[in-house]
Amino acid sequence: MEQFMELKYRLKRVRNLSFALGLLTIVGGLGLCLWGAAEDKILRTIILLLSFSFIVVGFKLLYDALKEWDIEEHRLIRLLKFQPEKIVWVYSVNTELAPFGIRLISTGMMYFKLNDRSEICVPIPSKQLKKISASLNSRLSHATFGYTLEREQWYEVSPYLLNK
């Protein structure tokens, strides 16, 4: 579907970053393991435990990236295509880092709340949030868009209260 191209691109980017970070963490853990073999016994034990932790985290990141390698099979895309009624609430959060009024970083996160009380979060640049939200609004006409404290309370009581 053409209307989800930007969303698919963002999901691919998250997947690729997860894959690259997983590889980097594994290589770092292996390098730490090799470096730790030449030190004294106590330090070697600590370094080997730390390197083992790096390797485990790296494989977890790789597993998550490979599990959803095909973006068409990503949970969010499948829901949007085949079960859009399960998405009951969509909102975005824009975070800006502006010390002394100088805008340095602006990032966005789009949250998809489901009727089973789970959520899917997708990092999206701040400039794209409104565009993606507008394209989703037509596909998810039954869902509520935007965040308020009242909507959060409704969602806690029953996700179905947010259906239009």
CATH number of the domain within which 116 lies: 3.30.720
For residue 8, the model assigns a pLDDT of 86
Q: Is residue 78 part of a domain?
A: no
Query: How does DSSP assign the chain, residue by residue?
Result: -GGGHHHHHHHHHHHHHHHHHHHHHHHHHHHHHHHHTTS-HHHHHHHHHHHHHHHHHHHHHHHHHHHT-SGGGSHHHHHHHH-GGGEEEEEEEEEEE-GGG---EEEEEEEEEETTS-EEEEEEEGGGHHHHHHHHHHHTTTSEES--HHHHHHHHH-GGGG--
Q: Which domain holds residue 24?
A: 2-73
Q: Is residue 102 part of a domain?
A: yes
d(CA 62, CA 16): 10
- Residues 103, 37 within the same domain: no
Average pLDDT of the segment spanning 104-128: 88
For residue 163, the model assigns a pLDDT of 79
- Residues 87, 158 within the same domain: yes
**Residue finishing a domain among 47, 73, 99:** 73
Q: Is residue 155 part of a domain?
A: yes
For residue 2, the model assigns a pLDDT of 55
Q: Is residue 55 part of a domain?
A: yes
- Residues 107, 52 within the same domain: no
For residue 69, the model assigns a pLDDT of 87
For residue 139, the model assigns a pLDDT of 82
pLDDT digits (tens, 9 = 90+) for 74-95: 888 888 888 888 999 999 998 8
- Residues 99, 153 within the same domain: yes
pLDDT at 108 over 80: yes
Number of domains in the chain: 2
- Residues 52, 113 within the same domain: no
- Residues 87, 157 within the same domain: yes
For 48, 86, 131, 156, the CA distances from 120, given in Å and listed in that order, are 35, 12, 18, 16
For residue 152, the model assigns a pLDDT of 92
- Residues 33, 103 within the same domain: no
Q: Is residue 112 part of a domain?
A: yes
- Residues 126, 144 within the same domain: yes
| 154/1: higher pLDDT | 154
d(CA 135, CA 122): 15
pTM for the full predicted model: 0.77
For residue 3, the model assigns a pLDDT of 58
**Residue finishing a domain among 41, 73, 105:** 73
- Residues 39, 101 within the same domain: no
For residue 92, the model assigns a pLDDT of 92
pLDDT digits (tens, 9 = 90+) for 135-159: 888 888 889 899 999 999 999 988 8
**Residue finishing a domain among 54, 73, 92:** 73
pLDDT digits (tens, 9 = 90+) for 16-67: 999 999 999 999 988 887 776 666 777 778 888 888 999 999 999 999 888 8
Q: Is residue 121 part of a domain?
A: yes
For residue 1, the model assigns a pLDDT of 47
- Residues 94, 66 within the same domain: no
| 100/66: higher pLDDT | 66
